[in-house]
Amino acid sequence: MSETSQTQATQEPSVLTVQDAYGVLLERFPGQVRMDERQGYEGVLIEADSLLDVASFMRDQLGIRYLSSVTGVDNLPNGQLESVYHAFAGLGPALVFKVQVDRDRPEVPSLVSVWPSADFQERESYDLLGIRYIGHPNLQRILTWEGFHGHPLRKDWHEPYYEEELKPFASRHPDGHVYRAEDRNPFGMNLQYPSDFDPHNWTDIAQAAVYQPLQRTALESRLETETMVINLGPQHPSTHGVLRVVMAVDGETVVDLMPVFGYLHRNHEKIGERCTFPQIMPYTDRLDYICSMSTNLAYALAVEKLTGIRPPERAEYIRVIMAELTRIVNHLLAIGFLWNDVGAFFTPVVYAFNERELILDLFEMAAGSRMMCNYVRVGGVFEDLPDGWMEKARRLVYDRLPRFVDEYERLVVQNEIWRARAIGVGVLPAERAIAVGATGPLLRGSGVPYDIRRVEPYSIYDRFDFDVAVRFNGDVYDRFMIRFDEMRQSLRILRQAMEQIPDGPVQTGKKNYTIKVPPGEAYHRIEAPKGELGFYLVSDGRPNPWRYHVRSTSLINLTSLAEMCRGHKIADVVVILGSIDITLGEVDR
């Protein structure tokens, strides 16, 4: 199908460099914008009152159309909360801007009206840190539930099993008498209640809050028929995990829809802030559990950006090989599960899992585990590839996988039923895709040739010859076909990497369970199989991060779900959801 896929090498050139952009902002908004002078930090600080003006100016005059990440930091010693934004114009590094507000009155204007991609991220920041975004259309808790006590990522909030601020805990050695944490909790479980909690008179506001934004649409609808609110999930046979989608439907047609998150919220960030930098690595496996190698890589690169450690040459190549194999695994499963959702029950998944097993054998051989690889380290990889690995991998990459990709495509691509279900369904125009912060195959399927491996090359991706796959209709079919294109490009990169890989060490410096990290902040993003995966780290010089945030691909890609589904049938919602390709571990963290 290569005749229909067009490839484009580069983006439109960026007009301004980031430093220029800061200069323009300082000049245009004197007194409102100042540089962030803290050591190791970058970007500008903006006064809360003028944030909306500055943001609109950036979007309309500076051409910064894509807001990638919104998060918050609790600067407890200063008594301030900080809302941190990373935005991109096209090529090049991020434009960083921050708003600092008082901890007692944390109010920041919402940027949803300027960049809709801020929607879920602002809600998350409100939920976990308690920053109130004024003007947000639906400022509710997103990962915990309405009614939950406190804001967990604030530094003075402690979980029920709280033991110590930082790991390693002193109780483990040298006098580590074992106990189970629940045995020391008065309720025998992971629970704690505020002192004014009266269980007899508790009204369950969590459920009502979920339906509330949809009931508004139900009332506004002018149709004669009654609009119904129904739930899809969290337990649902479509194989995308515990996502819950609340829909307002008119007959079979979706009027409005809202995904509800948090059913797999595992406190990744809170635990991450307790761990030392290397200890976080195995936790990142469990973020996007289908592509653990990519998440490992993204985290390692973020820490390397902060510390300045560079991995040796051979390790770079091994990382790229692993990351691209992971991309193939992910796309195989994404396609398989998507077909599962349209009704090709399990046959494509079985074939996909066959190939996946062969790749997982390679992972198990090198890293020691099938899924939770924990292979990449800061400054290298865990260990060198074992004997015979490369030979096995070559046979797969040169012979079996290219053949399988073609065969897999032949299996369903011309199937009339599938085409009827996919073509023209769930269209996302390019403009909207950028506005809602879609990344990865979702964005490129809408005709935007934006691939971080090309626009901001990391690791050694600038050495390989590959094309950025792009398709232009923005429907389910294109998003699905683009995955085949990308697998072929991945195989191309793999072949080059396998030819060029040099001998040598795979780790810089000595391995240790703590590393020295200078104070400062770093945001690093990679082109994960699902899209842009970013890690935002703030270090205060201790062995543990002060703030550890994951810019989750799947969560932000879901921002576009509602507008893609409106007007379609309920059955199409599942297909559109499948074409976005989410992993719940990453959505809820």
Partner 1 sequence: MADDLTHPSIKVPAEIQGTVRVATWERFYNWCRSRSVWPMMFGLACCAIEMVAMASSRFDFSRFGMEVMRASPRQADLMIVAGTVTKKMVPQIVRLYNQMAEPRYVLSMGACANGGGPFKEGYSVVSGVDKYIPVDVYVPGCPPTPQALIFGFIQLHRKIEGQTWKDYTWYKNRGHGEEIPLPILGPDLFDPRQIALIEAAAISEQANVEQAAG
Partner 2 sequence: MYGMGVLKGLSVTLKHFVNTYLDDFKYGFLWIGNKRYTTEVLPKRQSAEARGIFTVQYPEEVLKPQERFRFVPFLVYEGSDENREYRCTACGICSKACPPQCIWIVRANDPETGRPLRKPAEFYVDIDICMNCGSCAEFCPFDAIKMDHDFELADYDRTLSHIHDIQRLGKPVEYYARIRPSYHASEQAEILAKADKSARAKG
Q: Which residues bind partner 1 (CB under 8 A)?
A: 143-145, 147-149, 152, 159-161, 163, 180-182, 186-195, 197, 199-200, 202, 204, 206, 234-237, 239, 241-242, 262-267, 270-271, 274, 282-283, 286, 289-290, 346, 349-350, 353-354, 356-357, 370-372, 584-585
Select from 278-286, 297-305, 316-324, 555-563 the region that touches partner 2 (CB under 8 A): 278-286
Report how far residue 387's alpha carbon sits from residue 313's, in angstroms, rounded to the nearest whole number. Answer: 19
Query: Which residues 6+ apart lie within 8 Å of 170 measured at CB?
Result: 164
416, interface contact from partner 2, partner 1, none, CB < 5-8 Å by kind: partner 2
Tell me which of partner 1, partner 2, none is bound by residue 405, counting a contact when its beta carbon lies within the kind-specific cut-off of 5 to 8 angstroms: none
Q: Of 353 and 458, which CB lies nearer to partner 1 in the complex structure?
A: 353
- The answer to whether residue 493 forms part of the interface with partner 2 (CB under 8 A) is no
**282 is a contact residue toward partner 2 (CB under 8 A):** yes
Alpha-carbon distance of 517 to 537, in angstroms, equals 11
Structure tokens belonging to residue 61 = 């005059």
Give the span between the Cα atoms of 364 and 390, in whole angstroms.
13
DSSP string spanning 471-509?
-SS-SHHHHHHHHHHHHHHHHHHHHHHHHHPPPS-SBSS
Candidate ranges 381-389, 447-455, 468-476, 578-586; the one touching partner 2 (CB under 8 A)? 381-389
CB of 333 to partner 1, least distance (A): 8
First and final C-alpha spacing in the chain: 37
Give me 34's structure tokens. 């100042």
- Establish if 365 lies at the interface with partner 2 (CB under 8 A): yes
Q: What 3-state class would DSSP assign to 521?
A: strand
For residues 201 and 220, is the Cβ–Cβ distance under 8 A?
A: no
Euclidean distance between CA atoms 99 and 54, whole angstroms: 12
By a kind-dependent CB cut-off of 5 to 8 A, residue 366 interacts, out of partner 2, partner 1, none, with partner 2
Residue whose CB is less far from partner 2, 386 or 429: 386
Is the Cβ of residue 242 or residue 455 nearer to partner 1 in the bound state?
242
> Distances from the Cα of 370 to the Cαs of 16, 293, 358, 458, in angstroms?
45, 11, 10, 26
417 binds partner 2 (CB under 8 A): yes
Question: What sign for the dihedral angle of Cα 468, 403, 421, 554?
Answer: negative
Minimum gap (Å) between residue 563 Cβ and partner 1: 26
List the structure tokens of 325.
Answer: 């194999």
414 binds partner 2 (CB under 8 A): yes
For partner 2, which residue of 95, 366, 469, 476 counts as binding (CB under 8 A)?
366
State whether residue 457 is helix, strand or coil: coil
Structural contact between residues 293 and 318, judged by C-beta atoms closer than 8 angstroms: no
Q: How far is the CB of 369 from partner 2 (least distance, A)?
A: 6
- For partner 2, the binding residue among 3, 27, 79, 177 (CB under 8 A) is 177
Report, in Å, the least distance between residue 300 CB and partner 1. Answer: 19
> Which position among 35, 358, 501, 570 is part of the footprint of partner 2 (CB under 8 A)?
358
407 binds, among partner 1, partner 2, none (CB under 5 to 8 A by kind): partner 2
User: Residue 325 interacts with partner 2 (CB under 8 A)?
Assistant: no
- Which residues ranging from 73 to 132 are in contact with partner 2 (CB under 8 A)? none
Question: 541, 517 in Cβ contact below 8 A?
Answer: yes
Beta strand residue intervals within 4-43, DSSP E: 6-8, 33-35
Question: How many residues of this chain interact with partner 2, rule: CB under 8 A?
Answer: 57
State the virtual CA torsion across 294, 14, 69, 116 in degrees, nearest 10: -120
Beta carbon nearer to partner 2, 283 or 546: 283
Cα–Cα separations (whole angstroms), residue 126 to 8, 157, 211, 244, 569: 39, 15, 19, 20, 33
Is residue 165 at the binding interface for partner 2, with CB under 8 A as the rule?
no
Is 386 a residue that touches partner 2 (CB under 8 A)?
yes
What's the farthest any 2 CA atoms get from each other in the chain?
Answer: 73
* Binding-site member from 38, 310, 419, 516 for partner 2 (CB under 8 A): 419
Span near partner 2 by CB under 8 A; candidates 89-97, 144-152, 486-494, 511-519: 511-519
* List 27, 226, 416, 499, residue binding partner 2 (CB under 8 A): 416
Q: CA 520, CA 425: separation in Å to the nearest integer?
A: 45
Q: How far is the CB of 176 from partner 2 (least distance, A)?
A: 3
- Eight-class DSSP state of 399: I
Closest separation in Å from C-beta 366 to partner 2: 7
Q: Tokens at residue 10, please?
A: 């580069």
Which of 200-227 are b and which e, b meaning 16 or more Cβ less than 10 Å from the residue's Cβ? Answer: eeeeeebeebbbeebeebbeeeeeeeeb
Q: By C-beta, is 174 or 237 nearer to partner 2?
A: 174
One residue of 39, 219, 237, 350 binding partner 2 per CB under 8 A: 350
260 versus 425: smaller Cβ distance to partner 1: 260
Among 22, 277, 382, 546, binds partner 2 (CB under 8 A): 382
The β-bridge relationship of strands 132-134 and 107-109 is: parallel
- Beta-carbon contacts of residue 96 (< 8 Å; ≥ 6 apart): 36, 42, 43, 44, 84, 85, 86, 523
512 binds partner 2 (CB under 8 A): yes
State the residues that interact with partner 2 by CB under 8 A: 167-169, 172-178, 180, 275, 278-283, 285-286, 347, 350-351, 354, 357-358, 361, 364-369, 372, 374, 382-383, 386, 392, 395-396, 399-400, 407, 410-419, 511-513
